[in-house]
Amino acid sequence: MDKRALADFIKRYTGASVRSVAPLSGGCVADVMRADLDDGRQLVIKHSTTNDAENDAGLLIEAEMLRYFKTHSPIPCPEVIHADANCLVMTFIANDNRMTGRVQRDLAEQLASQHQVTSETFGLGFDTLIGGLAQPNTPEESWITFFAEHRLRHMAQHAHREGKLPGSMAARVDRLIDRLGDLLPDQSTAALLHGDLWGGNILCQSDRLAGLIDPAIYYGDREIELAFGTLFGDLTPEFFARYDEILPIEPGFFEERRDLYNLYPLLVHVRLFGGHYVGSVDHILARFRH
């Protein structure tokens, strides 16, 4: 979409003229831009870069995730202005990239509040995406079943079919799945999860949490969200100290379950990037002797 077509498109849906357009980073199957309007509003536009119907549907799924997150989570996220198979328009959230201890504590308080939004079943009423990859959310009453079938096995099998994960390692994932009942609690609460909680999706401004972007939502055990936040060191001791004051973290999380839960985002990264992430999966499997 050229600048003139983009300006006409934005005016049609907002009634305002575009003053300037600048590229933004991110986006798995779309170009991402920020548009400053003459009425002072700022928008983010994601425009599809493919002609693939399956990938183009991702913008509609992202819009559905954002709408759900906005109406169910206490944490701010972009508001969807318009969505179709080729273009997603949403509000822009300013971010100064200053992840201070105060921001970490603010995130802990708001995420603990979000994790108290619960469901009777694990999963969601629609399938979602993580990093542009399909994320099935078939409802299950058992967290172990959901995590095993719709997270670990699903992602490992696809990684193997795509030639990213050796067959021997996919078989080790299957054997680990057979032991999950011995490694995870049999009673879990289905909490609303952002689903892709890493630093690039956490926005802060003026020493406060400004919002979360790019959700990969579903209802799951909150520990998988906390684990993901440690994978790249994005959640700090300040975060965990405050979160634990509100929603206590059960013993064994840092020592064992964190690594087990991070097997899922690592399998996602294997599919997206391959390389050393395969070694990280192997390391966790070896730790659990599979």
Active-site residues: which are they? 196
Q: How far is CA 133 from CA 185, 206, 216, 268, in A?
A: 28, 33, 10, 8
77 half-sphere exposure, CB direction, 13 A CA radius: 26
Q: How large is the C-alpha radius of gyration of the chain?
A: 20
Supply 185's token pair.
């609690």
Q: Distance between CA 257 and CA 70 in Å, rounded? A: 29
DSSP string of 26-93, one letter each residue: --SSEEEEEEEETTS-EEEEEEE----HHHHHHHHHHHHHHHHHHHH-SS--PPEEEE-SSEEEEE--
SS3 of residue 219 by DSSP = strand
| Residue in 25, 16, 9 with CA at minimum distance from that of residue 86 | 9
